[in-house]
Amino acid sequence: MAAPDPTSSAAAPAADSDLTSTPLIRVEHLHHAFSEVGITKPVLRDISLCVHPGEIVILTGPSGSGKTTLLTMLGGLRAAQSGSLRILGAELLQADQATLTRLRRQVGFIFQAHNLLPYLTALENVRVGLEVHPHWLQRGRAAMDGQGAALLERVGLAERARYYPEKLSGGQKQRVAIARALAPEPRLLLADEPTAALDKESGRMAVELFRRLADEQQAAIVMVTHDNKVLDIADRVVQLEEGQLVES
């Protein structure tokens, strides 16, 4: 099935969003392939997608359909090969390192693997997410610790702030990772299976924090998930199959 045109439902914002706002994500005719043992394997095929401020888009689809690859490209973690990939106003196709660094400072990432630093406490791990932002560094350590503590409280881990990751359960580690991503109030949040390690209550709490970030800060959020219990949080659900957008 052919991928949608940028003006189709897959690329358009939700019906009740501001159609005049500038998209924070504008992807047009994006192609990407991996090379394995001299064989080129297409992963993304003619992807066109827009995500506007305040909008939550969920990516669904079978394993191997290209969801995580697309997510990493939106965050500048994987180089674009062809097409246009404009994120927060910057074109990432052939972007230099300085452009990619500026972009990553404005993006919150939540990975399937929590990627916590084992030698730092929960609070220190959250503070790491603030220390890459010059304006937070200017505010000083006390302000960063205050923001980190507030986010840990919001994810239900206030009493675990001084714990090291080895003393936390898998779900608690994931909640620390969520707090770390949300603490800087990013303009763009990219989340890969953020609720997979969480129980029903914690998962609902997490996506409600995402909704609050979108509504109050007008952040754009793209989330990959197989968790049908959180689909209702999205403005749009976009399906990928064999590297193509096939449904919205």
| pLDDT value for 167 | 96
| pLDDT value for 73 | 92
| pLDDT value for 156 | 95
- Residues near 244 by beta carbon (within 8 Å), at least 6 away in sequence: 1, 2, 3, 45, 46, 47
Q: Where do the structural domains in the chain lie, given as residue ranges? A: 1-106+187-248, 115-185
| pLDDT value for 112 | 84
| pLDDT value for 149 | 97
- Asked if residue 191 lies in contact with residue 224, where contact means CB atoms within 8 angstroms, the answer is yes
Q: Residue 59 to residues 88, 122, 234, 235: CA-CA distances in angstroms?
A: 19, 29, 10, 11
Consecutive sets of 10 residues in the chain, 248 residues long: mean pLDDT of each?
42 43 92 82 91 96 90 90 92 91 91 91 95 90 96 96 96 96 95 92 93 95 92 93 82
CATH fold of 1-106+187-248? Rossmann fold (3.40.50)
| pLDDT value for 159 | 96
| pLDDT value for 228 | 87
| pLDDT value for 248 | 62
CA 13, 17, 22, 24 dihedral sign is: negative
HEC assignment per residue over 45-93? EEEEEEECCCCEEEEECCCCCCHHHHHHHHCCCCCCCEEEEEECCEECC
- Asked if residue 242 lies in contact with residue 47, where contact means CB atoms within 8 angstroms, the answer is no
| pLDDT value for 175 | 96
What is the spatial order of strands in the sheet that 236-241 belongs to? 107-110, 188-192, 220-224, 56-60, 236-241, 244-247
Among the listed residues 43, 44, 67, the one whose alpha carbon sits nearest the alpha carbon of residue 57? 67
